Structure 1
């Protein structure tokens, strides 16, 4: 509805187009940031859910070992949306002599529709007489099976010693196989990955055609004596934990089923928002609260400054309106009209900008992000939820209302005469305006004027300092948010440092070094391999006395002391061997000296920290392993062996050498992945490794060089095995891994080697960390834009309000150099105060982040990213300089007489 106040407000806004535009931009950026983050997160979440369903299925709970009666009970649960059933058809031997029993399973129609199958060769089975096999050439009753061939399968049952049908996890050497029938199948294809898993511990799983499950319908007796496995999709993902507690989890005390296996589809439930780690939930919730608070503080700071400056400009106008009868309520309503106008323009544009920003971001990085997350090209479609837009608009409008409410309260305190005279803008107290001092002596009149100006109108200058401080804190908070969230993601999710790995199991012979060199040369020559890191690893046995290990460690890990000689803890310590160059660099980084390598004592640099879960308070803690009494003194090391017939007698310990935990390192070598470290780690040089092998391989007549103590040993030393670990970086790790695994298998056929894919195993962890980083970088960009607009709006408007002052100084002969000197000194005052306040607030925010992120999950502690800090300081100073230069250029272009005549 049109009225005099709305008309006056519109005319005022049109007359101050720059300030109005900056205010609208502030509302636009605030809304865009909220919208962009929400739309991007929603799109990424939708993509991750759909990809997980496509590769793993839409099920939430997997239960194995069910009878038909138990399955019927589960079907009656109202929380269940659908059930995919995989039934046991029977077992059959792989070969007569290897003791393996493959399992033939059939799926019902729901399972074939809902559970994905990756077919590496051939096609899916279409009828009862067709099967899928796990790999080409697998043995079926002693014969190799290939695609397109017909195989004869002697199906039967595997019975426990008591004569009961055994479940897959119960199969062992004491089971009894009974053949019941022989069936013929045609092999139609080879599957790669299925939710059922390729193997079950005592053999592989074969999948038969879909019609095999038809006989179960209306004829449960056909499945008597067999078990089934079900994949259950809940109507609401949040009901999953309640369902598990009611049916299968013994810890709940109310589980209806016993002697079944079960698992929870955490990879899907995670993306659907169902998290089980309460510490992780608290961390995410706290971080999001701080994130929203920072967005609102930055937005309120920018928009509040605009309305506060508007109030200062319109003080005389409000005084005139008040003198002719306008009430304070009507004047406050005038400011709210201004808030409504900027919201009407800024919020819709912000919603559109947020959606477009997310769409553009996903267009350019979606394919690469999909490849990073899943290893193949793809698109991440934009997903816009109406409720997200509504919440973003409401939150942005609430931000504007808060911003206008703060300065509108000042209207009640201004009398009409004070408003017309602008008496509230400048309050002079003689003692406060005593300017000059050191600044006047060093910089002359410009320095004295700058110091007096700061004291003369503190409110205006405080708004500038607050604006700069908030801008710096916003940039630092965005950087801290990324640092802590990425660090927390690394602690919780343990993303791998290398995509591929290969382990050679060696025995310490002369041919080992040549095998290592040949393997490394083969890996480095593989196209697509970017980096290879070689690290020898070995396990050193060190029996420990009671109390030699820290109590925090023994509370988490326990041993059977009765089985070890003299009741000592059969403790083992891992050791890694670095090249001489790497070892010297590591010692220099840690500020340590190189240990001696003479005699029968292995003096080692060690790392003594692990992350352990404390069940008492449900948190991860970083603990030490060794007590002080075992450090810096020789300890017996060697190997255990059994004496007696068939090596089944008493266990004795052969001492081969002594080891000493000599110097403690505060950090691990940069390239070493310690995600599964659960014991002290020795860091050895190649020379120390040679010393260890020499001591372990010597006979019983050897003497200790240093102490003269006799070292016991066996007459014939057992081979000392160790590992050569090759950590491999490869961008297209799937393709490189397939080719490299085949080449390594052929090249090291006479050696024991294990090829593995850490990146594949930790794909979900990589997804989470990558998503965190992308969101954080987008957040930093938007926060930076708000900070820039905030500083520009505050400084430019405050300088424009001083047009008459500058015109007066120019009229009495102040030169351009003096002007620049005065304004430069004012910038120094702003910058120093803002730097002090901004640093203090950034430290407090970092402490809050540290408490929220690492409390309960272990890991690091307080972080302060100095690079981001220096960047934020430099950025704020650049924005101040550019804004001041732009505004002073405009002021110098104005007519002095016209400015002095303005009232």
Structure 2
């Protein structure tokens, strides 16, 4: 080790406080980088495990393949595992549940039994094609008491809807007509005798409204003949973006008609066939990582800049005894290397420990609130640690580069006299007479102090600006990410939906007053049409009209209308939410409604989610409603006028149970009484009851036990739970990140201001020596705080706006909606900046206010 490096080490040891402050700053920065890297990996690991627990592990599904096609898939170099499956329905004799008259055979081979989540309650899974494991729900809900060892005969086939000419799946509820008669048929393909060898829990892939209870069967590849077809589920050896082209190539070569992908799981692996989504993810990652690195550089740079300022005299002494510019520059780089060697390992450990502690807290919260099956686990990969180390090293190097260049240029005389930081001239410290006249002498002195030490002033302002940009950028990112998630998920706000062509008052009251029901809404719905003037259609529709105006009818665009009538209590609550009085709607001569003007829909052609206005209209305008009347042959139709409806309010709030229509559609919300007057007998209506309940499964069972034949029950609690869980998880992580960013920013500001004040001891002693009173001194410090805050906001807010625009622009690749400034966050930042600056100033002054004037005048930065 050369003499310069030895002196640098000695200087670090002798100035323990400054060295410790710098080390702590670097540790915080490294901890943030490592925490973010680990957080990302751990979160994706959770989402992968949660998806596997619900849907099983598979990447590509080839539908209805024969044995020769199966061999080609199995021999493909990309195939790691291959699971086989087929299915069918059989009548469940003796079922007391009229909405579930079938058993649903889901057959797997040996690999499929392990790849898909099947929970055995008793016995075992089948090992041959004449064995089955039945769902425990058959005994619970169908009152059919099968036992292990029973032999059963089933006629198995497919559900078929003759009217529509389509086969039906587990996602389709039982088809009935108005009288409750089943309108679908079972097309028998084989008869089979099976032995029950076990019972299973209701699988996650079985919707609560499906008409069949799941029975797990067994298939063996060697028993398949040339005419048999199965579904092939492939687990790939390596998951990469080329899998889409590769799978389509195999399907094309082998004549396979349909290929499906496990899109959710692949997305968690970072693979998607949507180029817009990929661009969104990459650009967002780049922006957020840039924000993190800039924040880290700001924190570490300030620490080293202050270090060089304090070491000025030491560097001058080295220069006076012959140290070259290169040696002085390298001494700063060496200091950075030493501090990095100490800080990086500690920072990484601290970051991992912080994330692990956070996971312990979050897991307890999530398990209690949502009952998640999987827990967050700390996943530390070599790649994440290496990335954190590499970013930290690069950050430290960038942070030390400018101070090192500055150190190399310090002359011996200036350094020993310590005049290099302050360059005075009359022009440099000139202030406006307005400042003294309005704010007083103390404000003028405070402003001159700021100007005379411009480098330290800029360092503090820079820290404040970075803090503003970090906080507002992450806050905006959080709000937009939540909005994007909500746009991509169906906005399910209820647990159970009950639908019927007609429900009487007694039935509705019975459903809404059940034991476990906590909230209910009754909606009557009619599907109508309206002709909307070209000037009032949404901007997205105007683009279509401009390309092809043949879609217009007499200059008007045909909208499809969902007219929805809420029960009186629900309509009052909804009107209050929208900001209008429900009573006013009943006083109008013309039927008056609330129109949902904001919609979000998926544009499949552009591969993005779009939020736009459904209609460009105003309160008070009227909409003419029509009913479409079809001929007996359904070949021709005409419009029949129903009624005019006045727009009483335009809103983006959606009542419980209502899905907004897509482009070219409109939701019109009225009260139940208005609905009766509007429609009367001029249009068909359906009745829906939406329930929130503290026990969805028990509620569903109670409804099905006492429901009429024409009632359909949909329990969407699990799907709603998944949506809420995803949004909650993202919120917890991102708000945790905001908290971390905020703490780091505050630490950065306190460190910068505290050190800056410490370096001004001589200046403050001089002011007190010429008669400045404590009151005047405090007034001067307060004005300095205001100058810092105003300057930081003047730079920070415009820069934050540019970053927010960049984030919004990157999201527009997949999600299209209007840009909205986060006014609450902006006002919060403005208030907090002044609080932080003021607190930092007062804290720093409190440490030196009792210092002796003589000692302060003699003080030197050593």
* Alignment-derived partner of residue 493 in structure 2: 497
Q: 1:363 to 1:571 in 2, by over 3 A?
A: closer
Q: Secondary structure of 1:542's match?
A: strand
Q: 1:883 to 1:621 in 2, by over 3 A?
A: closer
* Alignment-derived partner of residue 235 in structure 1: 237
**1:192 to 2:202 alignment:** yes
Could you tell which deviates more after superposition, 345-354 or 62-71? 62-71
Q: Distance in 2 between matches of 1:546 and 1:821?
A: 64
**1:247 to 2:250 alignment:** yes
1:335 Cα offset (Å): 0.9
Asked if the contact 1:132–1:206 (Cα under 8 Å) also holds between the matched residues in 2, the reply is yes
1:492 Cα offset (Å): 2.5
1:658 Cα offset (Å): 1.3
* Alignment-derived partner of residue 473 in structure 1: 469
Which of 364, 368, 393 is residue 367 of structure 1 equivalent to? 364
Q: Secondary structure of 1:83's match?
A: strand
Could you tell which deviates more after superposition, 198-207 or 571-580? 198-207
Which of 849, 862, 867 is residue 807 of structure 2 equivalent to? 849
1:659 Cα offset (Å): 2.7
Q: Secondary structure of 2:464's match?
A: helix
Q: Distance in 1 between matches of 2:376 and 2:500?
A: 43
Q: 1:809 to 1:592 in 2, by over 3 A?
A: farther
Q: 1:102 to 1:753 in 2, by over 3 A?
A: closer
Unaligned runs of 5+ in 1: 161-165, 249-253, 698-712, 731-735
Q: 1:898 to 1:683 in 2, by over 3 A?
A: same
Asked if the contact 1:315–1:422 (Cα under 8 Å) also holds between the matched residues in 2, the reply is yes
Aligned positions of 1:8-407 closer than 5 A: 8-86=7-85, 106-119=107-120, 123-126=124-127, 128-133=129-134, 146-148=146-148, 150-153=150-153, 183-186=193-196, 188-189=198-199, 192-193=202-203, 206-208=215-217, 210=218, 213=220, 216-217=221-222, 223-238=225-240, 239-248=242-251, 254=252, 256-259=254-257, 261-369=258-366, 375-376=371-372, 379-407=375-403
Q: 1:835 to 1:486 in 2, by over 3 A?
A: same
* Alignment-derived partner of residue 706 in structure 1: none
Q: 1:570 to 1:102 in 2, by over 3 A?
A: farther
1:444 Cα offset (Å): 4.6
Q: Distance in 2 between matches of 1:179 and 1:552?
A: 49
Q: TM-score, normalised by structure 2?
A: 0.85
Which of 577, 582, 587 is residue 573 of structure 2 equivalent to? 582
Q: Distance in 2 between matches of 1:588 and 1:199?
A: 37
**1:483 to 2:479 alignment:** yes
1:467 Cα offset (Å): 1.9
Deviations along 1:223-261, one digit per CA (max 9) or x if unpaired, are 24322222111101225323321133xxxxx453234x4
Aligned positions of 1:488-637 closer than 5 A: 488-494=484-490, 496-498=492-494, 500-505=495-500, 507=502, 512-522=504-514, 525-526=515-516, 531-542=518-529, 544=531, 552-553=540-541, 571-577=560-566, 579=568, 580-582=571-573, 584-586=575-577, 588=579, 594=585, 597-598=588-589, 602-614=591-603, 617-623=606-612, 632-633=621-622, 635-637=624-626
Asked if the contact 2:85–2:107 (Cα under 8 Å) also holds between the matched residues in 1, the reply is yes
Deviations along 1:302-355, one digit per CA (max 9) or x if unpaired, are 211122122222223322322221100000111112212221221111111011
* Alignment-derived partner of residue 819 in structure 1: 777
* Alignment-derived partner of residue 707 in structure 1: none
Q: Distance in 1 between matches of 2:450 and 2:719?
A: 61
Deviations along 1:477-500, one digit per CA (max 9) or x if unpaired, are 2222212222222222345334x0
**1:420 to 2:416 alignment:** yes
* Alignment-derived partner of residue 408 in structure 1: 404
1:774 Cα offset (Å): 2.0
Q: Distance in 2 between matches of 1:867 and 1:406?
A: 37
* Alignment-derived partner of residue 681 in structure 1: 667
Q: Once superposed, what is the RMSD of the aligned Cα atoms? A: 4.2
Asked if the contact 1:332–1:411 (Cα under 8 Å) also holds between the matched residues in 2, the reply is yes
Asked if the contact 1:574–1:682 (Cα under 8 Å) also holds between the matched residues in 2, the reply is yes
Q: Secondary structure of 2:347's match?
A: helix
Q: Distance in 2 between matches of 1:241 and 1:749?
A: 47
Asked if the contact 1:120–1:192 (Cα under 8 Å) also holds between the matched residues in 2, the reply is no
Asked if the contact 1:367–1:377 (Cα under 8 Å) also holds between the matched residues in 2, the reply is no
1:642 Cα offset (Å): 4.5
Q: Distance in 1 between matches of 2:539 and 2:778?
A: 67
Q: Distance in 2 between matches of 1:236 and 1:796?
A: 53
Q: Secondary structure of 1:237's match?
A: coil
Q: Distance in 1 between matches of 2:156 and 2:499?
A: 39
Q: Distance in 2 between matches of 1:853 and 1:591?
A: 38
Aligned positions of 1:800-811 closer than 5 A: 800-811=758-769
Q: Distance in 2 between matches of 1:368 and 1:874?
A: 31
Unaligned runs of 5+ in 2: 161-165, 176-182
Asked if the contact 1:82–1:233 (Cα under 8 Å) also holds between the matched residues in 2, the reply is yes
1:24 Cα offset (Å): 1.2
1:760 Cα offset (Å): 1.8
Q: Distance in 1 between matches of 2:18 and 2:593?
A: 67
Q: Distance in 1 between matches of 2:65 and 2:400?
A: 64
1:93 Cα offset (Å): 6.1
Q: Distance in 2 between matches of 1:255 and 1:128?
A: 31
1:753 Cα offset (Å): 4.0
Could you tell which deviates more after superposition, 573-582 or 810-819? 573-582
Aligned positions of 1:615-764 closer than 5 A: 617-623=606-612, 632-633=621-622, 635-638=624-627, 640=629, 642-643=631-632, 648=633, 655=640, 657-660=642-645, 662-663=647-648, 665-669=650-654, 671=656, 674=659, 679-693=665-679, 696-697=680-681, 720-728=684-692, 730=694, 736-749=695-708, 752-757=711-716, 759-761=717-719, 764=722
Q: Secondary structure of 1:726's match?
A: strand
Q: 1:673 to 1:426 in 2, by over 3 A?
A: farther
